[in-house]
Structure 1
Amino acid sequence: MTKFSWKNVLIAGTAAGVISGLVKLGWENILPPRTPERNKTNPPQKLLEQMGVPAKLTHATYTYSGEKLPWVSYLVHFGFSISFATAYAALLEKKVKWLTVDQGVPFGLAVWIAFHLVIMPLMKTVPSPKDQPLEEHISEALGHIAWMWTNNEIAEIVLKQLGQRKKER
């Protein structure tokens, strides 16, 4: 049994969070969770505005290939993804099986329920669950499954590789 390593957890969580964040963005291109009107100010932008960050900053973009892309939203998106992937990697490293069961699928659904159905609606960042379209629930639930499954797979691989290197020394 290897000793718990925060360094390994941070490396695995960062790698998993970046890759799973890309997976979630790709997922949302295939099954957009929000209507174009509701996406004019997306949840990360709205949350930051609720915290007093001016819309001029929350809606700041960079241009790539002729597309205006919301870099501030991406910072929040990847920050959230890396944070949860790191917490999940710590659970994997500590071998907390009841929270990491089934490749993280229940964990991903729990994050969706907690944030999209409870916390953000209570904060008025997104509408009440009953006022969200069915398409949003489907996209977000399935997207969170794909996101956390990716976190699980990448974190497991990285932790295993880092553990093997540690044993070789």
Structure 2
Amino acid sequence: MLVMLAWLSRASPPLLGSAKAWRWRGGVNKNLSSSAQPEDSINQLKSWLPNLPMPIAATGVAATGLLSYIYMELRTYEKQIKGLDTKIETQIKGLDMKMETQIKGLDQKINHLDMKIDMLSETLSSKFDALNDFKTQLLIRMEKSEDRVDAQLRELVKRA
């Protein structure tokens, strides 16, 4: 197909009755842009076909059919890709929402555990304080008991 288009666009003077002569009469658009849509190229090829000599026209028909088929396949793949993109985006959004929910749940559990730890720390701290108070009172009692025992021993020593 590219060979045929290159052959049609040669700059040498055309032979009378050839496809090139037809092109020189203005039948072919010389300004094919690379940014043209595929359907533009297909339509342009279809418009050229009736005026071309038979072997070239047959090649053009085949090329047009092939281009149409390729274009339709590309459109199908494009639609499939867009569908997959949409599906993937939806799944990603769903996973994001699921992760956010799980993170919020974990944050709540962590906060609850922090509160429990704080309560246990306060309870433990108050129990240690109570234990220290008991120990202090016990030491005071022991000192008083020692003082009484010492006093009694002194009295016994004085009597004896």
Same fold (TM over 0.5): no
TM, length-normalised to structure 2:
0.33
Q: Which of the two has higher C-alpha Rg?
A: 2
Task: Say which structure is richer in helix.
Answer: 2
